[in-house]
Chain A
Amino acid sequence: MTVAFDEMTNPDGSIRPAYAALSRWLKEVPPDVLDYRRKEAEFIFRRIGITFAVYGDSDAQERLIPFDIIPRILTNLEWQRLSRGLEQRVKALNLYLRDIYSKREILRAGIVPEDLVYQNPAFRPEMNGQKVPHDLYVHIAGIDVVRIDADTFYVLEDNARTPSGVSYMLEDREIMMRLFPELFADNRVAPVENYTDELLATLKSLAPATSSNDPVVVVLTPGIYNSAYYEHSFLADRLGVELVEGRDLFIKNDVVYMRTTEGPKRVDVIYRRLDDDFIDPLAFRPDSVLGVPGLMSAYHAGNVTLTNAVGTGVADDKAVYSYMPEIVKFYLGEEPLLKNVPTWRCREADHLKYVLDHLNELVVKEVHGSGGYGMLIGPRADKAQIELFRAKLKQDPGNFIAQPTLALSTCPTFVDEGIAPRHVDLRPFVLTGADRTRIVPGGLTRVALQAGSLVVNSSQGGGTKDTWVLDD
């Protein structure tokens, strides 16, 4: 494996310009001060209750995501390039979904294989031929990006369902400003605190035609036992809208109402943080008590906007991902500004053969997996794991893709041994409204805290960092 690109320090020991002020500061500040501030940060997170739940780990019902106090820095120029690419990509995702649920030109053109749509568990036949408000499907997208060298960013994954993590982006910044005001005096950091205002403007712009001039927006949560509950309540609070559970809503004459102390009140836009399967027991899983019976029929009647739309999962799994460059070209007639990680589709025989021959070099992922579960990291796996995946691959090749083990970039991180480089990725959040696209500069940087580890997922011990876009 090649040596990873470090975002602060060049191989010759010189410091990249964006990190100049930070590097000076890191040299001056005594380690015990850093340690003290780290503990302070953890104390604040714990007291505010910024926690998440790890499924299958009952002892740690509420855990903190570790927060690293050293920020990750991007220049404005890097960000401009990135954000143009993100906007283009999300535009293509929206056009793709509109096409898949209407004319399916991309299938007829033979660009995306039909079975990737029809046999995809996230494909929702209920959405066929249904018009959604403003023809938009993915209003809130989280696009995971990794960096390989000074110039190359790859998209690692598109999250078009209910991407989470934005509360950490916002809280990390708040904590950093509280703990290290001197750093913000030395660096001109683009603010992110307007994210929730941008989100509210986006959600209101998406209101259905039948709503009043001042549409009523709510956040729909599965409830306090959901792993991202903190984020749901945080967002509702910052948006200044009600945080509802399924039981707070009901449908009458295809209109959605919430139960309030003053009687029923009409709801126009639902920012739902509940998977498709659970939103309406009449349309999907009948055993779901989290959803709202009849919601889909109100949705089809055009009386409510669901963000994101139902059925967006058909655009963000890892098999479709490999076609994203073609999808961008097909709908926009442009070259993709952001590259994909080179990907082998195990559904194709020659790709499968290559993957089976190189299992010890590759990362193999399940097409529908997420959260870093169910994947093989070849160079780190033992023989038994490799053989297990070989068997799985042979049994159901279509369920897997493979990618080279990327040398993800590293950033200085404060760990037990002191300051050391750790691998990072980035999840910027792209908001698509009926009026325009909005992206606040930065996003959520996730960091693998174990030396050498490439797994940044919070469910697997990854941490987060504040992400700075310098205004240069």
Chain B
Amino acid sequence: MLSRTADNLYWLARYMERAECLARILDVTQRLAQLPAAYGGSTNEWTSALLTAGCDELFKQVHGDEVNEANVVAFLAFAPENPSSIRNCFEIARTNARSVRTALTIEMWETINSAWLELKRYSTKSMTREELARFLSFVKETSLRFDGAAYRTMLRNDAFWFSRVGMYVERADNTARILDVKYHVLLPEQEHVGGPLDYFQWASILRSVSALTSFHWVYRESVKPWLVADLLILNAQMPRSLTSCYQNISRYLDDLAAYYGRQGASQRLARTSLTKLGNSRMDDVFQMGLHEYIDAFITDNNRLGGAITEQYLL
């Protein structure tokens, strides 16, 4: 396969995944910000959203210190000057898709192309909350359709594996960022601080990775912060957990290596990260410091991205 094709497929999957993640962040933030202050609602939530999306610096350059619902929504969803806005994610995804049409199935292409056409109907200027809600569910549905189309229609060869690797690298990054921004409300079992005030924060974390229901099925008890951390980091059943992402990354990178008959740096890095996650226990993670643990993970994940690029995409 052409290196450029692999590169396009990898980034196409990353941008689709990123768009969905942004939609979830916006959704959850709006929910939290609307809560009465007594339940933990605060206007700081919009700053958190920017931090999670990793574009607080850029936002500052454009809007200064004025952080509010309207300008954060506009910035994360539509702003042309934000390279990772949902609109830009879809634009880039479609441009990538156009240049690798031969590597996509009809169903995948039609999902992206229809979404891109649909996107033109939404304008940032006069969006009511109801319209925004509709827009966000459109984004999530598009990502689901794309993922489903890829899963159901692609040949199981390098094209499929590159796009899967892209999706899971992006997903791991997103989950890690959500944790990183909220790490201060996630505390180990021994410390009974926070309490009811933080409950909605914990719930919102789960919601942003669509795991609120799953939580109850896995732990069969009320939401506890250390369990939230456990679910998102170590629990292999949870499809957005770091462990689950790395099981998939490692598996698809191994498929590539077997197909091409050669292992490389990216396979080794993925295996190392997976082993590290497998050997971790939540107590130790808290001992080491959740923030430090997540920080190290994000760095490793970025390093893996670099290794994949070097090994296959140039």
Contact = CB atoms under 8 A, between A and B. Distances in A.
A196 interface: no
Interface residues of A, number: 22
A262 B256 CA distance: 10
Interface string B1-37: 1111110000000000000000000000000000000
Interface string A207-249: 0000000000000000110000100011011000011110110
B153 to A, nearest CB: 14
B101 A233 contact: yes
B312 to A, nearest CB: 5
A259 B5 CA distance: 10
A223 B96 CA distance: 11
Given A46-B117, A49-B98, A224-B99, A260 B110 contact: no
Nearest to B117: A46
Contacts of B101: 49, 233-234, 237, 243
Contact of B2 (A46, A47, A223, A258): A258
A237 B102 contact: yes
In this complex, which of B4, B99, B113 has the most chain A Cβ atoms within 10 angstroms of its Cβ?
B4
B95 interface: yes
Contacts of A2: none
A248 B3 CA distance: 8
B98 A229 contact: yes
Interface in B68-118: 95, 98-99, 101-102, 106, 109-110, 113-114, 117
Contact of B102 (A47, A233, A258, A261): A233
A224 B110 contact: no
A1 interface: no
Nearest to A223: B99
A48 interface: yes
A47 B117 CA distance: 9
Size category of the binding interface on chain B:
20 to 34
Contact of A261 (B98, B113, B312): B312
A242 B110 contact: no
A262 B2 contact: no
A59 to B, nearest CB: 13
B254 interface: no
Contact of A224 (B5, B98, B114, B260): B98
A4 to B, nearest CB: 39
Nearest to A242: B2
B259 to A, nearest CB: 9
Contacts of B109: 48-49
A449 to B, nearest CB: 24
A47 B4 contact: no
A360 B278 CA distance: 85
Contacts of A47: 110, 113-114, 117
Contacts of B117: 46-47
Given A48-B110, A49-B109, A261-B312, A244 B2 contact: yes
6 contacts: A47-B110, A47-B113, A48-B109, A242-B5, A259-B4, A261-B260
Interface of A: 46-49, 223-224, 229, 233-234, 236-237, 242-245, 247-248, 258-262
Closest 4 CB pairs of A and B: A237-B102, A233-B101, A261-B312, A259-B3
